[in-house]
Amino acid sequence: MRSEDFVSAIKGMGIESLVGVPDSTLKQFCDYINSDGKDEMKHYVPVNEGAAVGLATGIYLGTGKPAAVYMQNSGLGNIVNPLTSIANTEVYGIPMLFIIGWRGEPGVHDEPQHKFMGKVTDKLCEVLEVPYSVIDCNTTSEELSSILDQAKAVMDECRQYAIIVKKGTFEKRAGGGYSNEYTMNRESAIATIIKETSDNDLIVSTTGKISREVYEQCDAILGNHERAFLTVGGMGHASMIAYGIAVSREDKNVICIDGDGAELMHMGSMAFIGKNKPDHFIHICLNNGAHESVGGMPTGTKGIRFSPVAKDCDYDSVVTVMNEEELKAAFDSVKGVKGIHFIEAMVSMGSRDDLGRPKESASENKINFMKNFN
Ligand SMILES: Cc1ncc(C[n+]2csc(CCOP(=O)(O)OP(=O)(O)O)c2C)c(N)n1
Q: What is the DSSP string of 16-83?
A: -EEEE---STTHHHHHHHHTTTTTTSEEE--SSHHHHHHHHHHHHHHHS-PEEEEEEGGGHHHHHHHI
Q: What's the gap in Å between 234 CA and the centre of ligand 1?
A: 9
Same domain? 131 vs 234: no
Q: From the CA of 169, how far away is ligand 1's center (Å)? A: 20
| pLDDT above 80: residue 176 | no
Does 75 contact ligand 1 (Cβ within 6 A)? Answer: yes
Q: Of 123-132, 167-176, 202-211, where does mean pLDDT reach its minimum? A: 167-176
Residue 173: pLDDT band with limits 50, 70, 90: confident
pLDDT band for 317, please (50, 70, 90 cuts).
Answer: very high
Asked if residue 273 has its Cβ within 6 Å of ligand 1, the reply is no
Domain finish residue from 98, 132, 165: 165
Residue 19's domain comprises 3-165
Please tell me whether residues 284 and 315 are part of one structural domain: yes
Based on the fold, state whether residues 236 and 346 are members of the same structural domain.
yes
Ligand 1 mean position to 344 CA, how many Å? Answer: 18
Half-sphere exposure for 110 (CA within 13 Å, toward CB):
20
Band the pLDDT of 374: cuts 50, 70, 90: confident
Mean pLDDT value of segment 216-228: 96
Quick check: 242 pLDDT over 70? yes
Tell me, yes or no, whether 91 and 214 share the same domain. no
Is 180 a member of any domain?
Answer: no
In this prediction, residue 302 carries a pLDDT of 86
Contact between 313 and 336 (Cβ < 8 Å): no
Residues ≥6 apart with Cβ < 8 Å to 114:
73, 74, 103, 104, 233
- Residue whose Cα lies nearest atom 8 of ligand 1: it is 208
Positive or negative torsion for Cα 216, 221, 223, 229:
negative
Counting from 1 in the atom list of ligand 1, the atom nearest the Cα of 233 is 25
Q: Which helix (H) or strand (E) segment is 310 a member of?
A: helix 307-312
**Residues 120, 10 within the same domain:** yes
Overall domain count for the chain: 2
Ligand 1 near 213 CB (within 6 A): no
* Residue 266 near residue 231, CB atoms below 8 Å: no
Same-domain pairing of 158 and 190: no
- Say whether both 93 and 22 belong to one domain: yes
Residue 10 has pLDDT above 70, yes or no: yes
- Supply the residue whose CA is at minimum distance from atom 17 of ligand 1: 259
Kindly state whether residue 172 falls inside one of the protein's structural domains: no
Inside any domain, residue 288: yes
Residue 173 inside a domain? The answer is no
Q: Identify the DSSP state of 160.
A: E
Q: Is 176 within a domain?
A: no
CA of 142 to the centre of ligand 1 (A): 33
Which of 110-119, 146-155, 173-182, 240-249 has the least mean pLDDT? 173-182
CA 253 to CA 245: how far, in whole Å? 9
The overall average pLDDT reported for the chain is: 96
Query: In which band, very low, low, confident or very high, does the pLDDT at 174 lie, cut at 50, 70 and 90?
Result: confident
Say how many Å lie between the CA of residue 266 and the centre of ligand 1.
12
The CATH code of the domain that includes 86 is: 3.40.50.970
Q: Tell me if 66 CB under 6 Å of ligand 1.
A: no
Question: What separation in Å is there between the alpha carbon of 197 and the centre of ligand 1?
Answer: 25
A 10 A CB-CB count for 279 gives 16
Average pLDDT over residues 300-309: 94
* Residue ranges in 157-267 assigned as alpha helix (H): 186-196, 209-222, 238-248, 260-265
pLDDT confidence of residue 142: 97
Contact call for residues 216 and 355 (beta carbons, < 8 A): yes
Could you tell me if 36 and 144 lie in one domain? Answer: yes
Residue 178: inside a domain: no
Share of the chain above pLDDT 90, in %: 96
155, 197: one domain? no
What CA–CA distance (Å, rounded) separates 144 from 102?
17
Last residue of a domain, one of 101, 130, 165: 165
For residue range 36-52, what is the model confidence (pLDDT) as tens digits? 999 999 999 999 999 99
| Residue 174 domain flag | no
On whether both 13 and 133 belong to a single domain, the answer is yes
Q: Is the minimum distance from the CB of 298 to ligand 1 under 6 angstroms?
A: no
Q: Are residues 109 and 256 in the same domain?
A: no
Q: Is 187 in the pocket of ligand 1 (CB under 6 A)?
A: no
Q: Is the CB of 73 under 6 A from ligand 1?
A: no
Query: Does the pLDDT of residue 178 top 80, yes or no?
Result: yes
Mean pLDDT, residues 168-181: 87
Domain boundary at 131, 165, 199, which? 165
User: Are 155 and 234 members of one domain?
Assistant: no
pTM given for the model = 0.97
